[in-house]
Structure 1
Amino acid sequence: MSNTTTHSSLNIVSTLNAPSAIGPYSQAIKAGDLVFCSGCIPLDPNGTLIEGGVEQQTEQALKNLKAVVEASGSELGKVVKTTVFLKSMNDFVAVNGIYARFFGDHKPARSAVEVARLPKDVLVEIECIASLK
């Protein structure tokens, strides 16, 4: 067992407005002028999986991401980079539509990748890095 503790230069971000971490990780970590948000999946803040297709799941994942970003003291307009993990690249266009509406005129750098499987067998997971300045 490790006796590693969080370094004093880092601050853990936690909010009840997004689901709790489902493993040994934090919702986000602030490091200097940046916040690193863990991947958000389509669970409601109580931890219940959102029913429906990729559009409904993307909407909830982004709501969770927004809640964590705001709990860190940042905002969506300060998101620098996102990574979108998709169960199927066939959902790329649908996810892009929700994502574009969500971020509006702000267009963070982004990667989108298809993965074999996501936690709880969801269709989408989204993580980000945002500025705190």
Structure 2
Amino acid sequence: MIEYPSAPDTPRSHLPFSPATKVGDLIFVSGQASVDATGKIVSGTFEEEMRRSIENLRKVLETAGSDLKHVVQTRNYVRDNDDLPLFNKIYPEYFAAPFPVRTTITNCLGPQLRYEIECIAVVSKPGS
């Protein structure tokens, strides 16, 4: 059975996709960017946009019954290659060793976004 977890404060897009789908104990989260709860892009520095995107990811995961500690894979999209050192500095503040498997793609976003992240996670169980 496929579920589509959502809550009123889950960041949404005006585009045709779900923030997350849940199948059994797996949660698949669509790309989260620097947007507010209505889906409006909130521009800022790379660091501001990265932090807002990961906080949006956290909200989607919590709605689906998980958290950042239960992420098993991330895909990261960094608009400017020059931001990779800062990306690698901030990333371990949210994801601890041993880190989730990760793919990072650069020079791939349009001018309106500096960063986007998607993930696969497992449902968190009490005590895990």
- Which TM class, normalised by the smaller chain length? 0.7 to 0.9
For normalisation by structure 1, the TM-score amounts to 0.84
Identity of aligned residues (%): 31
One-letter code aligned to 1:26: S
Q: Which moved more, 1:68-77 or 1:96-105?
A: 96-105
Alpha-carbon separation, structure 1, partners of 2:87 and 2:23? 29
Instruction: Tell me if the contact between 1:81 and 1:128 (Cα under 8 Å) persists in the aligned partners.
Output: yes
Query: C-alpha separation between the residues in 1 aligned to 2:75 and 2:88?
Result: 12
Matches within 5 A, 1:49-128: 49-105=41-97, 107-118=99-110, 121-128=112-119
> Quick one: which amino acid aligns to residue 37 of structure 2?
P
Ranges in structure 1 where 5+ consecutive residues have no aligned partner = 1-8
Shift of 1:21: 2.3
Unaligned runs of 5+ in 2: none
Report the Cα offset of residue 105 of structure 1: 4.3
Partner of 1:37: 29
**Structure-1 residue corresponding to 2:2:** 10
- Output one character per residue of 1:85-109: Cα deviation in whole Å (capped at 9) or x when no partner: 1111211111222221122445211
Q: TM-score, normalised by structure 2?
A: 0.87
- Please report how far the alpha carbon of residue 14 of structure 1 lies from its aligned counterpart in structure 2 after TM superposition: 1.5
Aligned residues: 124
Q: Quick one: which amino acid aligns to residue 128 of structure 1?
A: C
